[in-house]
Homo-oligomer: A and B are copies of this chain.
Amino acid sequence: MPKVGQEPIRKAALVKAAIAEVAQAGSLEVTMARVARAAGMSAPLAHHYFGGKEALFEAAMRAILSDYGAAVRASLAGVQGPRARLDAVIGASFSAPNFAPEVIAAWLVFYVQARERPAFRRLLRVYHARLRSNLLAGLRPLAGEGAEAAADMLGAMIDGQYLRAALSDRPATGAEAEAALRAHLDLMLGAAR
């Protein structure tokens, strides 16, 4: 049965399963065997491909953030004008793939872990920096002086909405959260004018 060229497929399956299992457990207290089985293989294979639990989970967090980054980039492509840029970033942040409960829950778990694990911390720094600079690029022409503060507050609002979505039992389409955020943005920009 063993075919060749399985590595990327199996790695992807493991990462996907890891995200799902971590989200479900709400912590990294998830056994390798469990993740491996969810990905349709035996435990030693997971070790074979990732070398250890740590590396697998790190890959999982990296995948979440890089998916998010890709979505933002795609949403930003071709768009011009500050306000349109802001809308694009917000739209990507609340779009279905990134706002799925299982993704958010896993994201949160990694977020918490970042306090102690340097690798996670670095990844999170990148996320924060990118979000901030994306928001800032749109805000600076519109909000002038207060742009930095506004960007930090918008970032906190997005994170706060994520946090709350992770806990909601309703299937949480992100749509309301997104609308609320846009309304606030209008408010902030209106006042800065």
Contacts of A161 in B (CB 8 A): 156, 160
Oligomer copy total: 2
A170 to chain B, nearest CB (A): 14
A17 to chain B, nearest CB (A): 17
Known: A160-B158, A160-B159, A191-B191. A167 touches B29 (CB 8 A): no
Contacts of A183 in B (CB 8 A): 149
Stretch at the interface among A35-43, A66-74, A106-114: A106-114
* B160 near A26: Cβ-Cβ < 8 Å: no
A115 at the interface (CB under 8 A from B): yes
Report the Cα distance A163→B160, complex, angstroms. Answer: 7
Specify the chain B residue showing the minimal Cβ separation from A108: B112
Report 26 cross-chain contacts, Cβ distance below 8 Å, ordered by A residue. Answer: A25-B116, A26-B114, A26-B115, A27-B27, A27-B28, A27-B113, A109-B112, A111-B167, A112-B166, A114-B167, A124-B167, A149-B183, A152-B180, A153-B157, A153-B180, A155-B160, A156-B161, A157-B157, A157-B160, A159-B160, A159-B164, A160-B160, A160-B163, A187-B191, A190-B191, A191-B191
